[in-house]
C-alpha cells in the first residue's frame, strides 16, 4: 500500500486535476490511498466567509464565489457530459454550510469553523473521485471523518490512534479488490461524530496517519517544488535539493519554520520506518527527496526563516540574579498561555525568549508576569536558523540582511546558528 498526498496547488484547476490522473496512471498496479486537500486557496476563502459571518456582513456572495470556482472546474473537467449526480452531491455539501451558519448560535465558534472549513476537502475529493471514475479508475471515496477519530479540540484536534487504526484498517481491508482510495486530508471527527480539523496545512499529517495505520510501504507528498531544498528560493540564493534526509533532520527543519511539510508528519512515519518522498507533481519523473532512516555525511547547511516571532526579555529588578524559581514561573506561564517557545538564551540577570507571536496570548502573559519581572519585547521579529552551519554560509546570510535590519540576538550551538532579526520592513 502506498499513500499519496496532493495539496491545494496540485488540484487548483481542471488541468491540475488531469495531471493528478496522469500521475496515478503510472501506479495502476499499486494499491494507493490518495489524500487530497481543498482546491487552490479554498480554505482561505472559507475562512473569509466565516470572518464576514462573524462581522455580520454579507457572506453569501463569498460563499457563492467558492461554489462557482468549483463549478468551473467541473465544467472544464467534464465538458459536454453533464455530471448531474456530482452536481447534486456538491450542492448538498454547500447547503450544509448555509444550514450550519443559520443555526450557528447553537455551537461554539470553533465547532462551526471546523464544520464550514471541512467543506473544502469534501468538495475537492468528491470532484476528483468523479473525474477518476469517469476515466475508468475504480475508486472508493472514504469519508475521513469516519476514519480519523480525535478528541474534541476543534481546529487542532489530537488523534486517537487506537480507534483510528481500527477504522482505517477495517475500511481498507473490507475492500480487497479496490486499488485506489480517495480521502480528505485535514479532517476527522470526535467521539460524538462532530467534524474536527487537525490544524492548518494538516493534510500532510493525514497522509502520515494513514501510512502509520496501514503499515504502508511509503508516503509521497506531491508538491509544486522539486523536493526539499536547503532554503526557500524566494528568500535564499543558490538553493540545492536534498536527495535524502534523516527523519530527525527533516523534523527539526519543520520545527524551525521550513513549511514544505507539516511538522507533525514525520513522527508517525519515523516510528514505523516508512519512507517519505517529497516530489514534484510537475516533473513527476524526478525522484525528489526521500526522508528515511539514514545517515548523511556533511549535510548541506539549511537556511530557514520563521516569521511573526516575538523576542521577550525578562529581567529582575535591582541586579537580582535570575534563578531556577524565576525560570519556572516563566515556563509555567508560557505553558498556561499556550505560547510556543522556539529559542532561548539567558544571562545572569535576564532571560530572552523567542516565541510565536500570538497577540491575545502575549497580552495575557505580560499581565500575568508583569509584577515579577521587567519585560521588554520586540514584535514581528524573524528567527533565522542555519542548520549544520558553516562560517561561509553564516557570513553570507548576515551579508544578505537588509542594512537597516537589526540583529537582536545571535546564538550558536554545535550544529546550528539562530539569528533573531528585527526587519526594517516586515515581510
DSSP-derived secondary structure letter, 349: S
Reading the block at residue 177, the C-alpha cell is 479488490
Burial class (CB within 10 angstroms; exposed 0-12, middle 13-18, buried 19+) of 245: buried
Return the number of the residue (38 or 142) whose C-beta is nearest ligand ASP.
38
Among 185, 188, 227, 231, binds ligand ASP (CB under 6 A): 185
> In sequence order, which residues have a C-beta less than 8 Å from that of residue 347 and are 6 or more positions away?
322
Q: How far does the chain reach from its first CA to its final CA, in angstroms?
A: 42
**90/67 Cα distance (integer angstroms):** 9
Q: How far is the CB of 270 from Mg ion (least distance, A)?
A: 23
**228/68 Cα distance (integer angstroms):** 34
Among 4, 6, 7, 277, binds ligand ASP (CB under 6 A): 7
**77/132 Cα distance (integer angstroms):** 10
Q: Which stretches of 135-202 are DSSP H helices?
A: 161-173
Q: How far is the CB of 417 from Mg ion (least distance, A)?
A: 30
Q: Which span (198-206, 253-261, 296-304, 324-332) binds ligand ASP, by CB under 6 A?
A: 198-206
Q: Which stretches of 79-139 are DSSP H helices?
A: 84-102, 109-117, 119-134
Reading the block at residue 305, the C-alpha cell is 526563516
| CA-closest candidate to residue 158, choices 109, 102, 198 | 198
Q: Is residue 142 within 8 Å of 128, Cβ to Cβ?
A: no
Q: Is 120 in the site for ligand ASP (CB under 6 A)?
A: yes
Q: How far is the CB of 124 from ligand ASP (least distance, A)?
A: 8
Q: Is 288 in the site for ligand ASP (CB under 6 A)?
A: no
Return the number of the residue (37 or 382) whose C-beta is nearest ligand ASP.
37
User: Helices 84-102 and 109-117: crossing angle, nearest 10°?
Assistant: 170
Among 200, 358, 361, 368, binds ligand ASP (CB under 6 A): 200
Q: How many residues bind ligand ASP (CB under 6 A)?
A: 12
Q: How far is the CB of 201 from Mg ion (least distance, A)?
A: 6
**Interface mask toward ligand ASP for 17-56; x: CB under 6 A:** --------------------xx----x-------------
Among 111, 129, 171, 201, binds ligand ASP (CB under 6 A): 201
Plot region of 153 (φ>0 → left; ψ -120 to 50 → alpha; else → beta): beta
SS (H, E, C) 188-249: EECCCCCEEECCCCCHHHHHHHHHHHHCCCEEEEEECCCCCECECCCCCCCCCECCEEEHHH
Return the number of the residue (157 or 393) whose C-beta is nearest ligand ASP.
157
Among 12, 32, 36, 37, binds Mg ion (CB under 5 A): 37
The residue number whose beta carbon is nearest to ligand ASP equals 203
Among 202, 231, 268, 288, binds ligand ASP (CB under 6 A): 202
Q: How far is the CB of 209 from ligand ASP (least distance, A)?
A: 13
Between residue 4 and residue 33, which ones bind Mg ion under the rule CB under 5 A? 7-8
Q: Which span (52-60, 196-204, 232-240, 386-394) binds ligand ASP, by CB under 6 A?
A: 196-204
Contacted entry of ligand ASP, Mg ion, none for residue 185, CB cut-off 5 to 8 Å set by kind = ligand ASP
Q: Which span (14-22, 201-209, 242-250, 278-286) binds ligand ASP, by CB under 6 A?
A: 201-209
Return the number of the residue (9 or 351) whose C-beta is nearest ligand ASP.
9
Residues lying near Mg ion in the complex (CB under 5 A): 7-8, 37
Residues lying near ligand ASP in the complex (CB under 6 A): 7-8, 37-38, 43, 120, 185-186, 200-203
Amino acid at each position: 500500500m502506498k499513500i499519496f498526498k496532493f495539496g491545494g496547488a496540485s488540484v487548483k484547476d481542471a488541468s491540475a486535476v488531469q495531471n493528478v490522473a496522469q500521475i496515478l496512471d503510472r501506479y495502476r498496479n499499486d494499491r494507493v490511498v490518495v489524500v487530497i486537500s481543498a482546491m487552490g486557496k479554498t480554505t482561505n476563502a472559507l475562512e473569509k466567509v466565516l470572518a464576514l459571518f462573524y462581522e455580520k456582513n454579507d457572506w453569501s456572495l463569498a460563499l457563492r464565489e467558492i461554489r462557482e470556482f468549483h463549478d468551473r472546474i467541473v465544467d472544464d473537467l467534464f465538458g459536454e457530459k453533464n455530471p448531474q449526480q456530482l452536481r447534486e452531491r456538491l450542492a448538498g455539501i454547500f447547503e450544509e454550510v448555509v444550514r450550519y451558519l443559520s443555526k450557528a448560535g447553537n455551537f461554539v465558534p470553533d465547532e462551526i469553523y471546523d464544520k464550514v472549513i471541512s467543506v473544502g476537502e469534501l468538495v475537492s475529493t468528491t470532484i476528483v473521485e468523479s473525474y477518476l471514475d469517469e476515466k475508468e479508475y475504480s475508486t472508493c471515496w472514504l469519508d475521513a471523518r469516519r476514519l480519523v477519530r480525535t478528541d474534541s479540540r476543534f481546529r487542532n484536534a489530537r488523534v486517537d490512534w487506537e480507534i483510528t487504526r481500527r477504522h482505517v484498517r477495517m475500511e481498507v481491508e473490507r475492500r480487497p479488490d479496490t486499488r485506489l482510495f480517495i480521502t480528505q486530508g485535514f479532517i476527522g471527527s470526535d467521539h460524538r461524530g462532530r467534524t474536527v480539523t487537525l490544524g492548518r496545512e494538516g493534510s500532510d499529517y493525514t497522509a502520515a496517519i494513514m501510512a502509520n495505520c496501514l503499515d504502508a510501504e511509503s508516503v509521497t507528498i506531491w508538491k509544486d517544488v522539486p523536493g526539499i531544498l536547503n532554503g526557500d528560493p524566494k528568500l535564499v540564493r543558490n538553493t540545492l535539493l536534498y536527495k535524502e534526509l534523516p527523519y530527525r533532520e527533516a523534523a527539526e527543519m519543520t520545527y524551525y519554520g521550513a513549511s514544505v511539510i507539516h511538522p507533525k508528519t514525520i513522527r508517525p512515519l519515523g516510528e514505523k520506518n516508512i519512507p517519505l518522498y517529497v516530489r514534484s507533481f510537475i516533473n513527476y519523473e524526478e525522484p525528489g527527496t526521500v526522508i528515511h532512516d539514514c545517515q548523511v555525511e556533511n549535510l548541506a547547511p539549511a537556511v530557514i526563516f520563521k516569521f511573526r516571532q516575538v523576542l521577550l526579555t525578562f529581567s529582575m529588578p535591582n541586579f537580582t540574579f535570575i534563578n531556577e524559581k524565576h525560570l519556572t514561573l516563566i515556563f509555567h506561564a508560557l505553558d498556561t498561555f499556550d505560547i510556543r517557545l522556539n529559542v532561548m538564551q539567558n544571562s545572569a540577570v535576564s532571560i530572552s525568549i523567542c516565541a510565536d507571536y500570538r497577540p491575545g496570548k502575549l497580552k495575557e502573559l505580560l499581565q500575568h508576569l508583569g509584577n515579577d519581572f521587567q519585560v521588554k519585547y520586540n514584535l514581528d521579529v524573524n528567527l533565522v536558523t542555519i542548520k549544520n552551519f558553516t562560517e561561509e554560509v553564516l557570513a553570507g546570510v548576515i551579508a544578505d540582511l537588509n542594512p537597516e535590519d537589526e540583529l537582536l540576538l545571535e546564538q550558536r550551538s554545535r550544529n546550528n546558528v539562530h539569528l533573531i532579526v528585527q526587519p526594517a520592513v516586515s515581510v
